Amino acid sequence: MLDRNGLRPARYTITHDGIVVMASETGVLDIAPERIWRRGRLQPGKMFLLDLKQKRVVPDNEIKSKISRQKPYRHWVKDNRIELRGLFTPSEAPAEDPQALHSKQNAFGYTDEELKMIISPMASRGQEAIGSMGNDAALAVLSNQPQLLFHYFKQLFAQVTNPPIDPLREELVMSLMSYVGRSKNLLDETPQHCRMLKLSHPILTPEDMLCLRKTSHPEVVIREIDILFPVGGDGRALELALEKIFTKAEQYIADGATLLVLTDRNMNEQNAPIPALLASSGLHHHLIRKGLRTLTGIILETGEAREVIHFAQLIGYGTSAICPHVAFSTIRELAEEGLLEGDIAPEIAMDNYITAVKKGLLKTFSRMGISTIRSFFGAQIFEAVGLSRALVDKYFAGTASRIEGIGLDQIALDTQRRYQRALPRRGRREELLLPGGDYHVRKNGDKHLWTSESISKLQQAARQGDYKIFKEYTRLIDDQSKAHATLRSLLQFKKGSPVPIGEVEPVEAITTRFVTAAMSFGSINKEAHEAIAIAMNRIGGRSNSGEGGEDPARYIPLPNGDSLRSRIKQVASGRFGVTLEYLMNADELQIKIAQGAKPGEGGQLPGHKVSKDIARVRHTTPGVTLISPPPHHDIYSIEDLAQLIYDLKNANPQARVSVKLVSAVGVGTIAAGVAKAKADMVLISGYDGGTGASPLTSIKHCGLPWELGLAETQQTLVRNHLRDRIRVQTDGQLKTGRDLAVAALMGAEEFGFGTTVLVTLGCVMMRKCHLNTCPAGIATQDEKLRCLFAGKPEYVVNFFRFMAQELREYMAELGFRTVDEMVGHVEMLEPQTAIEHYKAKGLDFSAILTRPAADSRPVRCVARQNHELDQILDQELIRKAQPALQQGQPVMMELPIRNVNRTTGTRLSHEVVKHHGPQGLPEDTITIKLKGSAGQSLGAFLAPGITIEVEGDANDYFGKGLSGGKLILKPPAGAGFVPEENIIVGNTVLYGATDGQVYIHGIAGERFAVRNSGAVAVLEGVGDHGCEYMTGGVVVVLGATGNNFAAGMSGGVAYVYDESELFDNHCNLDMVDVEYVWRDEDKQQLRSLIENYFRYTHSKKAEMILSNWEARLPLFVKVMPLEYRKVLERMKLQEHRDNETVSATEEVYHG
């Protein structure tokens, strides 16, 4: 059975004489075409059964039909399932007294900032709050403020080995529905198995709780347990209270309880609430150890949970449903006082809040590649940062915790500190609640690295070129006596053997190791983007284009010798602007797997921000929304990553290929896979890096500090003898030379900077990037605001020279003459000995300060990867194509091809563009006829003038990034199967294509034309998710489509031959409209494309349609994105007005 999302390829061939061949690729065995009866694929959520007795393949619907009719399951479910709605008499929960509410808010750590920045947007708009510029606040274990236990956990996410999911565009595979209660024997089937409470989602209202308490249903036996401990109690008192909860739960289960409700509603002056996560997870694990967990469901009624991540952690640690009673009361009060947007009613506000939580939970699941709440339940996909191993082993068993930390004593202390504020007091709410400070710097709030003083000092130093002021800035950041805001601030250098600073390599040698983080043209404006590029090219460093493409005009040096060219070109999941020309104009090609501020998520640039220049660079249409999918749809495994690396090396053999990962437990193993996949460099990003826009949940609670990820990566690579062949880079709030010294000692050879560079150029950390209102004129496309930009390349140059100089000082003090000598000498770091912080003093850094195996294994990169490009099929193609490459003469060649011949045509395309420029050669100048089964990525980034015709079949990624070439795929002559009924090409065809033509005589797999920007394609049928995220081009499907067609499609046009008239059931109509083909220009375009298709493939179906055109045309439907249609209409109207203006002007001028 294939996974529900169709992420794993499985192709099969069945011969007329009964042989079945199934593998992840086609072409694993050479079989004569006339012997083949059927070519197919295992489809998403479907089964493949080979019955050896009956000697046949049993269809999926027959398998499921037979199993589903063995017993009367439908009637069992109908008669026994318990629904929350409709079962109980509606009741109204009692209103909350305002003074009591404010006391509870304080007891559970609510702040005024939280109400305004987190809860209000959720209640007003039904969406999670969005933020920008990353996180520079202290970790929970380093904070001076009492922190919720939730904040000690960081969410894990999928990168490389498992793809994240798009919970919006692929909602059909997502689910929040669950069943709660007493589970029966898994090995038996009875009607009683169905007697469980069905919940459509896990958020219960106070009214739901009131109804549950009143039920008399015999299968819903509820018992309540208070989760409280004595006010003033220490860790031991907290432990005893937890033990009483566990004992009581055992007793209730023995008495037949099917639902346990843990509640902190009854807190009073004698009893404080136990942290909800501690109580629920502790009970969950206690019941597992006792063998009782499946006998009851756990429902939590708590005032502590209010953010999406809180609910996610509770579910991840075994809670089935949650009622956030204080959050609901807070929302009601805000609505009644008119403090929400739009002056909405309390009931609507609470519905909006639940909607926001539901959306947030789906996004949380999807980051890890999980589709359903039942898969997420108890999965514990979090890492603890700053909790002791003893605490974790008892209450969160199985959770990673690498640096030890606090136990029950400190948790009790923080709880008591919060509870002290819950004592009755009067005044306005803003005065009753703490101001906060998690997201912005506030008086008496949490500590932040960026303050008005540190920003001012840095900008002053960069603008004046004053190293003395720069040292004042770094003292502000590094001053260890004031605050411990980062893990590295808790480390100190051991005494080395100092060397004269004159013997340390010069500034100019060190600045070549500096890179700027990926910031796309779109997230920041043209002026800022180009200033950064000029500065980095001046110092020999590297700027990064980001995922938005790059204007080819920037490849030409300026008259003064400066260069606007970004030396690093990023290849992200959206593939915007990723043409062959773009790839060839790079010194480094960076594959962005994840982003520190929002790992496991995609992105979206709203249409109103897509200007003409941005659209041109991204090969899209002005005014049309651009969506980046969460995963690369050609990377679902390490092997897929290796394929993309291979594709990019073929497109630009001179460029190094790097892979960007985000720090998380297990990232070392992923980095080892990256090294084996033959990447030249791996980047480990910290969770606290900047971003133009991201949910605040992601900014604060996903990923880990780079110190943890870098240490794990270095240790894993060294232990596995891989460190010598790959360079390592890190980024994430690097601000001073001390930061660089720590990073180098922990294994980094290169260093990335994002936020700090923007601050140098004038950013004042208003965190308004996502609103397009940047007061410094950097993160905005608004013409008036752009005029405010005052940054200069010289400022960036000064900053990096100062950073290099300060690093030299540390190197001299430690006894290193070059950065190469310094890399990996983690033994020169040790924990500070005089840490007095009540939480930080319990941290144990031994796991990250371990130097692997003291033998002769290299601890830095000393060799190069062998990409094995010498013996590829393209070398022969290049030799035979010399007349075309040198003189432009037509060339035709015929060769066999096998599935081991990967990325065929890409290296040849490189030569075409090298000799003739991005416009390539005239159509069909180089014609290549191949026979056999083509390997992955045939025709990737194929250049104009090259035509590849394959007689056989092909694998995944056919036509990836097509850049103007032509691809034809058809079955061999004499094939024993009907092409229009058989799979002839794999998944993810035309991913990110920008131009060119594709004609496929057969059916394609999943995600055909995903993120197509401009290619034209005709074929006989497609699998699920066809034309997903498409922004341009034309696709004609002469047969059936799979589910979710056109999801996220914001541009381009698709025509589908809907003979069965069932297409509407398979199309995602969220962003598109489906209409008949009635316009003359559409009819002409459609017929012309089908005629071309017939000419190249001799398809019988195409012939039938063309010969009966008037009768068959009404069976076609046109899929048109709604926004795209409006934009085209506006453009047509504007063009008409412009033409009228020109005509009037000419009439006046010529009389």
Rounded Cα gap, residues 15 and 506, in angstroms: 68
Rounded Cα gap, residues 836 and 834, in angstroms: 6
Rounded Cα gap, residues 347 and 330, in angstroms: 12
Rounded Cα gap, residues 724 and 619, in angstroms: 39
pLDDT per residue as tens digits for the range 1049-1065: 999 999 999 999 999 99
SS3 988: coil
Instruction: For tokens 């919006």, name the residue.
Output: 168
| pLDDT for res 1014 | 97
C-alpha to C-alpha distances, 347 to 86, 328, 351, 1137, nearest whole angstrom: 19, 10, 6, 49
Residues 6+ apart with CB under 8 A from 912: 884, 885, 920, 921, 926, 943, 944, 945, 946
pLDDT per residue as tens digits for the range 164-198: 999 999 999 999 999 999 998 888 999 989 999 99
Question: Mean of the per-residue pLDDT values for the chain?
Answer: 93
Rounded Cα gap, residues 606 and 625, in angstroms: 5
Please check whether the two domains, 99-127+149-423 and 453-601+635-757+800-842, share a CATH topology: yes
Structure tokens at 231: 């006010």
The CATH code that applies to domain 99-127+149-423 is 3.20.20.70
What whole-number percentage of the chain has pLDDT above 70?
97
Identify residue 684 by its one-letter amino acid code: I
Alpha-carbon torsion (60, 66, 72, 73), positive or negative: negative
451, with CB counted inside 10 A (0-12, 13-18, 19+), is middle
Q: Where are the domains of the chain?
A: 11-80, 99-127+149-423, 453-601+635-757+800-842, 891-1133
| pLDDT for res 1139 | 75
Alpha-carbon torsion (456, 462, 466, 467), positive or negative: positive
Rounded Cα gap, residues 615 and 622, in angstroms: 5
Residue 712 near residue 851 (C-beta atoms within 8 A): no
Residue 906 near residue 882 (C-beta atoms within 8 A): no
0.85 surpassed by pTM: yes
* Domain range 453-601+635-757+800-842, CATH class: alpha beta
What whole-number percentage of the chain has pLDDT above 90?
83
The yes-or-no verdict on residue 224 having pLDDT over 80 is yes
On whether the 891-1133 domain is CATH 2.40.37.20, my answer is no
| pLDDT for res 4 | 72
| pLDDT for res 770 | 83
pLDDT per residue as tens digits for the range 19-31: 999 999 999 999 9
What residues are paired with 263 via a beta bridge?
Answer: 226, 301
Q: Angle 346-349-350 (CA atoms, 0-180°, nearest 5)?
A: 90
The yes-or-no verdict on residue 482 having pLDDT over 70 is no
For 186, other C-beta atoms within 10 Å of its C-beta total 8
Secondary structure (H, E, C), 224-236: EEECEEECCCCHH
The yes-or-no verdict on residue 426 having pLDDT over 60 is no
| pLDDT bucket at 94, cuts 50 / 70 / 90 | low
